[in-house]
Amino acid sequence: MALSKISNGGVATSGLPTGTVLQVVNAKITSAQGTGSTNQAWVATSLTATITPTSATSDILIIGNLPMFNANNTLHANASVFRGTVASGTNLGHSTYGFSGGYANAATVKNNIVINYLDDPSTASAVTYTVAIYNSLATGGTAAWLAVNSETSTLTLMEIRG
């Protein structure tokens, strides 16, 4: 049996089966990101990652690990991912609740939000994904925090061959 090897040019992605992971991009933050005095609106964090799909038929698997903290009672603190920016992009989660969140009824609450979402951006151009946070208070100060106490928040993007 003859052995074959991959040349310096690599393997053509067109020869790989559907579902193959073609590339992985990872981003992380360890500094606290808060909603500030913004209430009932999505606030962008610095947790972003950009990936350039090799084909417009590829999907992007988004994996997020987001430790969150509610710094006030009687509020929902939620997290979502936007394709693009918060101002002009597409919220991939629920318009208010994102992918998940935590509710503080009578005290502050810490929770961990895990995101697993398969996106179809339908492009071979660079795509940026932005993590955003939201607090449900009608009035008040800073209420929702990401990466509080120097905890690591991560955003991983995997291109999946379509």
How is 116-155 classified by DSSP, letter by letter? EEEE----SS-EEEEEEEEE--SS-S--EEESGGG--EEE
Fold of 19-160: Jelly Rolls (2.60.120)
Q: What is the pLDDT of residues 74-91, one digit of tens each?
A: 677 889 999 999 999 999
Quickly state the pLDDT bin for 122 (edges 50, 70, 90): very high
Domains of the chain by residue range: 19-160
Predicted local distance difference test score (pLDDT) of residue 105: 72
pLDDT at 7 over 70: no
| Strands (E) located in 13-124 | 21-29, 33-34, 43-51, 59-70, 75-83, 90-91, 100-104, 109-119
pLDDT, tens digit, 9 for 90 and up, residues 97-111:
899 887 777 677 788
